Amino acid sequence: METEYGGSASAAALGAEGRRGAALSAYLRQAALDPAPAAEVAAEIDDLLAVGLFSEAIADDVDLLPHISPPRGETVESCLALVGSHLRQFLAEPVAPPQSPPQTAREWKERFPDLSQLLGAYFHQDFSLEYSSHREALDDYVSDASESDLRKVADEIHDFLMLNESDQALKKSSAVLGLGVSPPHGVRLRQWLADVREILLRARQG
């Protein structure tokens, strides 16, 4: 079982007495932004329990799932059933998307997938082996990005800066998203990201 959420089995982290644990709570915070995957997971759990975990018909699929070690006195089936009930309750009573910063690395990457791709793929710790400057790396990204990609990253940078009110928080969460280099000399991280956003917006306009 994974330490953070990510699928029907890994979402099964529950707290004491069946309360939502950290992993399931993180999953549901992300699901508030897009409930569709949670509905799919709930349906998959129902199907899995209806067929039975030890059914030969799905044995190969079950082998691919992360192994779950249920709490003492519980079974894998009872844990999955409880997760399913939490998901159905969430879907029946949707909550507003969280306005607070994500609380786990997985949440940050799920919340800002396109920005994570930009930072992790172009501004990683081996950046200097591939590019002579930050602008060269950014131009390389822009050359292969669609107009839709540019818009998404620009929007994500705006939200990312809004969620990270302090420079310390911004530095930490940027590293989580894959940033492995410092901004250009003499430029603060917040200003550099804002500059990147402006460049992407101008590139989108052609």
Residues 162-184 pLDDT 10s: 999 999 999 999 999 999 999 99
Burial 168-178 (b: 16+ CB within 10 A, else e): eebbebbebbb
Name the packing angle between helices 134-144 and 189-204 (round to 10°).
30
User: Average model confidence (pLDDT) for the chain?
Assistant: 83
Q: Classify residue 146 as exposed, middle or buried by CB count within 10 Å of its CB (0-12, 13-18, 19+).
A: exposed
pLDDT bin (cut points 50, 70, 90) of residue 133 is: very high
Looking at residue 89, its pLDDT comes to 85
Looking at residue 173, its pLDDT comes to 97
- State the average pLDDT over residues 39-59: 79
Least confident of 68-72, 106-110, 193-197: 68-72
- State the average pLDDT over residues 128-136: 95
Half-sphere exposure of 126 (CA within 13 A, CB side): 3
- State the average pLDDT over residues 99-120: 90
Pick the more confident residue, 155 or 57.
155
Half-sphere exposure of 130 (CA within 13 A, CB side): 16
pLDDT over 50 (residue 7): no
The rounded percent of the chain whose pLDDT value lies above 70 is 82
Pick the more confident residue, 66 or 76.
76
- State the average pLDDT over residues 121-136: 95
Pick the more confident residue, 67 or 10.
67
Joined together, the tokens standing for residue 154 give 């620009």
Alpha-carbon gap, residue 74 to 200, rounded angstroms:
52
Alpha-carbon gap, residue 180 to 168, rounded angstroms:
15
- The tens digit of pLDDT for each residue in 137-148 reads 999 999 999 999
Contact 179, 123 (CB under 8 A): yes
- Please state, in angstroms and as integers, the Cα–Cα distance from residue 35 to each residue in 38, 81, 132, following that order: 5, 19, 42
pLDDT over 60 (residue 11): no
Number of residues that make up the chain? 206
Looking at residue 1, its pLDDT comes to 32
- State the average pLDDT over residues 102-126: 93
At 20, is the secondary structure helix, strand, or coil?
Answer: strand
151 Cα distance to chain centroid: 19
